[in-house]
Amino acid sequence: MNDAAPATTGKVWLVGAGPGDAELLTVKAARLIESAQAIVYDHLVGEGVRQLFPTRARLEYVGKKAAKHTLKQEEINALLVDLARQGMRVIRLKGGDPFIFGRGGEELETLHAAGIPFEVVPGVTAAAGCAAYAGFPLTHRDHAQSVVFVTGHLKDHSVNLDWPALARPGQTVVFYMGIGGAPEICRQMIAHGLPRSTPAAVVRRGTLADQQTLLSSLGELPQRIAESGIKPPALIVVGSVVGLHEKLSWFENR
Ligand SMILES: C[S@@+](CC[C@H](N)C(=O)[O-])C[C@H]1O[C@@H](n2cnc3c(N)ncnc32)[C@H](O)[C@@H]1O
């Protein structure tokens, strides 16, 4: 590509909307939304954040749950280029942080190739938001010296993750998009050395008023998920930090 940009080219801000609670939006994100001429947003952008959209802005919903018009990634990329070429201030708003399982990098590569200027505004990623509101830290000197964010979306149920690395002791592992793959995830973590009794949790719609937290152990989690009927969007968190929920839970006890 590398088309020359016209003199009137607008600009795209790739912005993280945080995990749901609108008050977790950064001040910068709120300011940019306020002055947006076009907002291109996903289904994980919370309702509270959507209420901040200015009525004069052109709104483009490109979420995966769009009834008929599920936009392919290439179509979203093309839409961003098109809106910017119309000279607009475009906010590309994504749930959580745009660089964590958000395909934000791919969109920026397209903008770069098209000569469209852009900026990036980070957001609170689901792991940080869910851990904070579910009441357990992601690291703790007595429990976990590292934390790993990994996609639990297993292609064709195949085992394409580095299970020996994920099953190491002394770390917290956060699986995004892992609900469907939970039986395989738990099976592999146990097969690679983690005790069945390792604390594990599911946090659904973290930071929102209807947040659900399901506490279990690695061995029992798949059955608990099946029994509860818990659905995405949810994270699976594995590690002994989860056990601190009992002492540190605050959001669900208000
Ligand atoms: C495509 S990823 C996008 C992640 C996002 N960019 C971020 O930084 O949080 C979508 C997944 O993030 C997780 N997720 C996002 N928001 C969540 C929330 N409020 N509560 C629980 N999980 C959430 C779920 O695993 C969901 O399937």
**pLDDT score for 204:** 98
Cα–Cα dist 23/30, whole Å: 10
CATH of domain 11-121: 3.40.1010.10
Write the burial class of residue 47 (CB in 10 Å: 0-12 exposed, 13-18 middle, 19+ buried): exposed
Cα–Cα dist 107/78, whole Å: 9
**pLDDT score for 15:** 98
* Residue type at position 30: A
- Decide whether any atom of ligand 1 lies within 6 Å of the 132 Cβ: no
| Spans in the chain with pLDDT lower than 70 | 1-7, 64-70, 155-159
Give, for ligand 1, the residue of 23, 25, 44 to mutate: max count of ligand atoms closer than 8 Å to Cβ. 44
126-253 falls under which CATH superfamily? Tetrapyrrole methylase, C-terminal domain (3.30.950.10)
162 is catalytic: no
**pLDDT score for 153:** 84
Domains 11-121 and 126-253 equal at CATH topology level: no
**pLDDT score for 158:** 63
Q: Ligand 1 centroid to 88 CA: how many Å?
A: 28
247 is catalytic: no
What residue spans define the domains of the chain?
Answer: 11-121, 126-253
**pLDDT score for 66:** 45
- Nearest atom in ligand 1 to the alpha carbon of residue 232 is 27
The pair of structure tokens assigned to 156 is: 């064709």
Q: Ligand 1 centroid to 239 CA: how many Å?
A: 19
Q: Is 224 helix (H, G, I), strand (E, B) or coil?
A: helix
Q: What are the pLDDT digits (tens) for 157-195?
A: 665 899 999 999 999 999 999 999 999 999 999 999 999
- Nearest atom in ligand 1 to the alpha carbon of residue 124 is 8
Cα–Cα dist 254/250, whole Å: 6
- Decide whether any atom of ligand 1 lies within 6 Å of the 201 Cβ: no
| Residue 53 CA neighbour count, 13 Å, CB half | 24
Pairing of β 38-41 and β 58-61: parallel
Cα–Cα dist 44/130, whole Å: 14
The residue annotated as part of the active site, out of 64, 65, 72, 247, is 64
Cα–Cα dist 159/139, whole Å: 26
The residue annotated as part of the active site, out of 21, 42, 94, 97, is 42
Residue 85 has a CB neighbour count (10 Å cut-off) of: 17
Cα–Cα dist 77/138, whole Å: 34
Q: Ligand 1 centroid to 31 CA: how many Å?
A: 23
**pLDDT score for 9:** 84
**pLDDT score for 38:** 98
- Nearest atom in ligand 1 to the alpha carbon of residue 178 is 25
**pLDDT score for 7:** 57
Helices (H), the chain: 27-34, 47-50, 73-85, 104-114, 126-134, 163-166, 182-191, 221-228, 245-248
**pLDDT score for 52:** 97
Cα–Cα dist 155/227, whole Å: 24
Identify the residue whose C-alpha is closest to ligand 1 atom 22: 234
